[in-house]
C-alpha cells in the first residue's frame, strides 16, 4: 500500500515555548523519509514519533534562520554515530551554505557517509526526481533567501479493465502502454480506444510547504492546485503590520492564499509563542477558507 504521510515534528516559531518545537516536518513516502526544515530538537522528535533514521534520504531547508536548521548538525552527527553508510542529500538556499557546511564538518569529524550539499538558487526548479514523485522548490518572500517546496506525485497509470483485456486477449507486453493511455490495435487493424480498456487513474496527490513567508500572490500561483498546503500563520490580523515587517503572514492571509490557490485543505503553523491556544488562529483562517487544520507536534496527515 502506497503511503504519503506528513508528520509534524515542530510547528512553533523562533522563540522557544513549552507548547511547540521549532519547524520540522517529515514526509513519509513509500520507502523514504524526506525531512522539511530541521529545527533544534528534530532528532529527539524523530525518536519520539518513531521515524526510522535509516529511511531518511533527503533534507530540505527553507532558509537559514536558526529555528529552521539548528537541529541539522546534531541530526547528521547522530546518523554517523548510528553507523550510517551511503549518503544523504541536504537541499538548501545557497547563501550561507558554506558556513553551515564547515560547522557540520567540524561538529562531527568522522562521518561514515557522504553529505551531498545541494545549493539552490531562489527560483522555481525541480530539486529531486524520485520514482513516483518530484520535489520542486519555489521562492518565498521572507527577510532572507527562502524556498518553499512542493512534493508532487507523478501522474499514475490508468486502471486496466481486466475483463476487456481478457476478452480481447491483449498480449502482456502491451499492457503497460495501455495503462499509460495507448489505444489497442488488433491484428486486423481495428483500433480499440483506450477509454474502453481502462478506467481513470487515481488522482496524484501533492503537498506544498510555505514557511516562512509574508503573504504574496506569487506564492498562491506557485502552489496552485496542490492538494494540501502548509502555510505559516505566525500572527493574528491585529499584528498584520509587524507580520509584514518581519516577513511573516497572519492566519487570515494564510486562508486567503489557500483560497487563491484552490487547494483542498490548509494546514497552519509556525505559531508565535504569544498564542497559548491556536484555536483563534484557526478561526481567523476559516473566515477565508473552509478546511483548516492546526498543525501540532506528533500529528500525522495521510494524503493517500
| Contact residues for a copy of itself, defined by CB under 8 A | 14-18, 21-22, 40-41, 43-44, 46-48, 66-67, 70-71, 73-74, 77-78, 81-82, 96, 99, 102-103, 106-108
Residue pair 255/282 in contact by the 8 Å Cβ criterion:
no
Map residue 298 onto helix, strand or coil: coil
Map residue 161 onto helix, strand or coil: coil
Residue pair 23/68 in contact by the 8 Å Cβ criterion:
yes
- Phi-psi category of residue 189: left, alpha or beta, with phi > 0 → left and psi -120 to 50 → alpha: left
User: Closest Cα to residue 241, out of 260, 267, 214, 268?
Assistant: 214
Q: Which is nearer to a copy of itself, 96 or 181 (CB)?
A: 96
Shortest approach of a copy of itself to residue 160 CB, angstroms? Answer: 45
Q: Which is nearer to a copy of itself, 232 or 288 (CB)?
A: 232
Helix axes 279-286, 251-261, angle to 10 degrees: 40
CA dihedral 92→93→94→100, nearest 10 degrees, is -60
Identify the active-site residue in 28, 37, 58, 67: 67
Residue pair 128/134 in contact by the 8 Å Cβ criterion:
yes
Q: Which is nearer to a copy of itself, 123 or 277 (CB)?
A: 277
Pairing mode, strands 125-130 and 265-269: unpaired
67 is catalytic: yes
Shortest approach of a copy of itself to residue 204 CB, angstroms? Answer: 35
Q: Which is nearer to a copy of itself, 70 or 164 (CB)?
A: 70
Q: Which residue has the cell 548538525?
A: 73
Shortest approach of a copy of itself to residue 151 CB, angstroms? Answer: 25
Residue 87 to residue 83: CA distance in whole angstroms: 12
Instruction: Name residue 231's beta-bridge partners.
Output: 210, 268
Shortest approach of a copy of itself to residue 93 CB, angstroms? Answer: 14
Q: Which is nearer to a copy of itself, 102 or 237 (CB)?
A: 102
Q: Which is nearer to a copy of itself, 83 or 193 (CB)?
A: 83
Instruction: Name residue 32's beta-bridge partners.
Output: 29
Instruction: Name residue 185's beta-bridge partners.
Output: 191
Shortest approach of a copy of itself to residue 236 CB, angstroms? Answer: 19
| Catalytic residue set | 67
Amino acid at each position: 500500500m502506497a503511503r504519503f504521510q506528513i508528520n509534524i515534528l515542530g510547528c512553533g516559531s523562533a522563540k522557544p515555548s513549552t507548547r511547540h518545537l521549532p519547524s520540522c516536518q517529515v514526509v513519509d513516502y513509500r520507502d523514504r523519509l524526506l525531512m522539511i526544515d530541521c529545527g533544534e530538537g528534530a532528532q529527539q522528535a524523530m525518536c519520539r514519533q518513531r521515524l526510522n533514521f535509516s529511511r531518511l534520504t533527503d533534507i530540505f531547508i527553507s532558509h537559514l534562520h536558526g529555528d529552521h536548521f539548528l537541529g541539522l548538525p546534531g541530526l547528521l552527527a547522530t546518523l554517523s554515530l548510528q553507523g550510517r553508510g551511503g549518503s544523504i542529500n541536504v537541499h538548501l538556499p545557497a547563501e550561507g551554505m558554506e558556513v553551515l557546511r564547515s560547522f557540520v564538518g567540524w561538529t562531527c569529524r568522522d562521518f561514515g557517509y557522504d553529505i551531498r550539499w545541494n545549493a539552490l538558487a531562489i527560483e522555481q526548479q525541480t530539486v529531486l526526481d524520485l520514482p513516483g514523485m518530484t520535489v520542486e522548490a519555489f521562492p518565498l518572500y521572507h527577510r532572507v533567501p527562502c524556498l518553499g517546496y512542493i512534493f508532487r506525485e507523478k501522474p499514475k497509470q490508468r486502471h486496466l479493465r481486466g475483463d476487456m483485456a481478457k476478452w480481447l486477449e491483449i498480449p502482456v507486453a502491451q499492457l503497460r502502454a495501455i495503462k499509460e493511455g495507448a489505444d489497442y490495435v488488433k491484428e486486423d487493424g481495428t483500433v480499440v480506444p483506450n477509454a474502453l480498456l481502462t478506467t481513470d487513474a487515481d488522482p496524484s496527490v501533492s503537498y506544498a510547504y510555505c514557511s516562512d513567508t509574508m503573504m504574496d500572490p506569487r506564492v498562491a500561483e506557485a502552489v496552485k492546485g496542490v492538494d494540501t498546503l502548509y502555510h505559516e500563520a505566525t500572527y493574528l490580523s491585529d499584528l498584520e503590520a509587524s507580520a509584514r515587517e518581519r516577513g511573516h503572514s497572519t492566519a487570515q492571509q494564510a486562508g486567503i492564499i489557500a483560497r487563491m490557490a484552490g487547494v483542498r485543505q490548509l494546514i497552519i503553523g509556525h505559531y508565535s509563542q504569544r498564542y497559548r491556544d491556536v484555536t483563534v488562529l484557526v478561526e481567523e483562517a476559516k473566515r477565508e477558507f473552509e478546511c483548516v487544520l492546526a498543525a501540532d507536534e506528533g500529528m500525522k496527515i495521510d494524503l493517500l
